[in-house]
C-alpha cells in the first residue's frame, strides 16, 4: 500500500488493485511468498479512507466493505505463505488485512486497533472474529 500522505489509508482504488494483484498471485505457480507492507514507517495501513466514505452514499460504502471482504477472502485462499510486515499504525481494515496473513511481523513502532467501532461502522473483514481466534478469548477485560 503506497499512500503515505494519508497513512496508507485503504481506498476503493487500493482495494481494487489489491484484488487484481491477489487474483494474479493466486494463479501464479512461480510465486513462493507474498509480503504486505505499507509505504513509509508511519503506517502499515491506517484503515479505510474515511474521507472517501464521507463523499459516498451508504450503498457505495457497502460496496467498499464488500471489496475488503473479497480481499480478505482471496488472501486466505492463496496457498503460499503471506506475511504482513507492520510498522506504525495498523488500524481498521489494515488490521483486518494483517489478521488474514499467515505471519505478522511487527516493528516496535506498530500500533494495532479496530477504531471503526467508535464510528459506528461494521468490520467488513470479520476482524473481531479473526482476532479472537488468533489471540483467544479472556474472562476479563483490561481498559487503558
Distance CA 70, CA 26 (A): 13
Cβ(26)–Cβ(78) under 8 Å? yes
Alpha carbon separation from 6 to 1, 2, 140 (Å, rounded)? 11, 9, 35
pTM: 0.83
Q: Which residues contact 100 (CB under 8 A, 6 or more apart)?
A: 72, 75, 76, 82, 125, 130
Residue 79 C-alpha from the chain's centroid: 19
Which tens digit of pLDDT belongs to each residue from 87-144?
A: 999 998 899 999 999 999 999 999 998 887 676 665 565 666 666 677 666 655 555 5
Catalytic residues: 96, 116
At which residue does the C-alpha cell 500500533 appear? Answer: 111
pLDDT at 23 over 80: yes
Amino acid at each position: 500500500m503506497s499512500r503515505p500522505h494519508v497513512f496508507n489509508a485503504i481506498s476503493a482504488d487500493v482495494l481494487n488493485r489489491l484484488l487484481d494483484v491477489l487474483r494474479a498471485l493466486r494463479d501464479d505457480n512461480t510465486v513462493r511468498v507474498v509480503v504486505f507492507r505499507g509505504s513509509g514507517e508511519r503506517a502499515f495501513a491506517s484503515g479505510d479512507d474515511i474521507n472517501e466514505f464521507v463523499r459516498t452514499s451508504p450503498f457505495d460504502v457497502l460496496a467498499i466493505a464488500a471489496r475488503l471482504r473479497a480481499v480478505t477472502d482471496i488472501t486466505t485462499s492463496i496457498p503460499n505463505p503471506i506475511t504482513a510486515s507492520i510498522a506504525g499504525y495498523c488500524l481498521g481494515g489494515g488490521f483486518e488485512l494483517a489478521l488474514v496473513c499467515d505471519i505478522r511481523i511487527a516493528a516496535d513502532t506498530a500500533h494495532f486497533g479496530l477504531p471503526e467501532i467508535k464510528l459506528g461502522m461494521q468490520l467488513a473483514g470479520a476482524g473481531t472474529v479473526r482476532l479472537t481466534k488468533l489471540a483467544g478469548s479472556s474472562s476479563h477485560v483490561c481498559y487503558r
